[in-house]
Amino acid sequence: MKTAIVVSGGDAPGINAAIDGFLRLADHGGDHVLGARGGLAGLLNDQLLALDRSVISLLAGSGGSILQSSRDPALQQPDARERLLAVLTRHEIDNLLLFGGDGTIRHAAPLLANWGISCIVLPATIDNDVACTDYTLGHDSACNFALGAVQGIRATAHALPGRIFLLETLGAPTGHLALAIAYASGAHLALLPEYPLELDWLADRLKAIVANDGYALVVLSEAYPDINHLVAEIPQRAGIRIRHTALGHAQRGADVSHRDRCIARDMSRIAWRAFKEGAANGVVVLRNGALALHRERLPIDSKPPPDRALYEFVNQR
């Protein structure tokens, strides 16, 4: 069996660990593995390389992806199917192991299935916004990275009281990541794009929090509407300084947590076994605490919005 590994869309902590796990299984099973440079566009351009297991093992705990990715919608090109089949035939590739998020799973995976190409997808995005799975690879690591930043912010908040601290996370276009971080960190407020708040209410609430606790910690998603306007207006309306910290893409490069390392290896094992047993297509999903291969097509709908009850609990509304 020969497999080509492809990373599509954004990178996420745990991808390297999953690649390492798949390579180990393939090596023990006498199988062959290639990697695509530059995502699906690189695969179409025959940018394939042999993967050095010793190098991958050294990077298994590192964030990002040793295989470069791409957001290029290469499969939409008129001759994409013919070019892809030619590459797979030339290298005698039997199946694809594809890492990706919501867009990859909803658009690329069904197209590959329609073309008769064997492909199993491992959901990998720190945003945790993929429908029909409770968890996506990298989410825990990104949360842990943010929690480290929270500790630093709280140290400053204690030393210099009387301020509002905004911690901006990745996660666009949803607020799933921000809500998870807000809840775990004990933040005073979570600002999510799905549930925008009125500025005067927010200013009054923050003023009361600072008066009571000495500072206010707010976790907000990068997708929250008009963050720059919020940062400018709140100090005027509340009469309190704001300190804004944007985590940015450093979250994607976070060190891989224990949970993500385990899930990465479990996902790769499920995919490898499925290929060996003749499974053609599927997505490895986590539901009710158990990982399994979902062989049917996933719904094209987006994941439901973040848990409203949890959001209201965090914000004490």
CATH architecture of 2-138+256-294: 3-Layer(aba) Sandwich (3.40)
Cβ proximity of 68 and 36 under 8 Å: no
Q: Report how far residue 199's alpha carbon sits from residue 92's, in angstroms, rounded to the nearest whole number.
A: 59
Domain residue limits, the chain:
2-138+256-294, 140-253
Cβ proximity of 101 and 130 under 8 Å: yes
Least Cα distance to 294 among 137, 135, 133, 139 occurs for 133
Q: Report how far residue 306's alpha carbon sits from residue 176's, in angstroms, rounded to the nearest whole number.
A: 5
Least Cα distance to 124 among 239, 245, 228, 13 occurs for 13
Question: If you search the block for the tokens 């009387």, which residue do you land on?
Answer: 162
Q: pTM for this structure?
A: 0.95
CA dihedral (169, 175, 177, 182) positive or negative: positive
Q: Judge whether 2-138+256-294 and 140-253 match in fold.
A: yes
DSSP H or E stretch at residue 273? helix 258-276
Distant-in-sequence, close-in-space partners of 151: CB < 8 Å, separation ≥ 6:
none
- Give the CATH number of domain 140-253; options: 3.40.50.460, 3.40.50.300, 3.40.50.2000, 2.70.150.10: 3.40.50.460
Question: If you search the block for the tokens 């979250």, which residue do you land on?
Answer: 251
Which amino acid, residue 301?
D
Which amino acid, residue 73?
P
Distant-in-sequence, close-in-space partners of 73: CB < 8 Å, separation ≥ 6:
none
Radius of gyration of the chain, Cα coordinates, nearest whole angstrom: 22
Q: Report how far residue 272's alpha carbon sits from residue 261's, in angstroms, rounded to the nearest whole number.
A: 17
pLDDT tens digits in sequence order for the chain, 317 residues long: 999 999 998 899 999 999 999 999 999 999 999 999 999 999 999 999 999 888 899 889 999 999 999 888 889 999 999 999 999 999 999 999 999 998 899 889 999 999 999 999 999 999 999 988 999 999 999 999 999 999 999 999 999 999 999 999 999 999 999 999 999 999 999 999 999 999 999 999 999 999 999 999 999 999 999 999 999 999 999 999 999 999 999 999 999 999 999 999 999 999 999 999 998 899 999 999 999 999 877 666 778 999 999 999 999 87
Catalytic residues: 127
Per-residue confidence (pLDDT) for residue 290, from 0 to 100:
96
| Range list of β-strands (E), the chain | 2-7, 32-36, 48-50, 95-100, 119-123, 163-169, 189-191, 215-221, 241-246, 281-287, 290-294
Q: Report how far residue 80's alpha carbon sits from residue 106's, in angstroms, rounded to the nearest whole number.
A: 18
Q: Which two tokens stand for residue 180?
A: 């998870």
Q: Report how far residue 257's alpha carbon sits from residue 265's, in angstroms, rounded to the nearest whole number.
A: 12
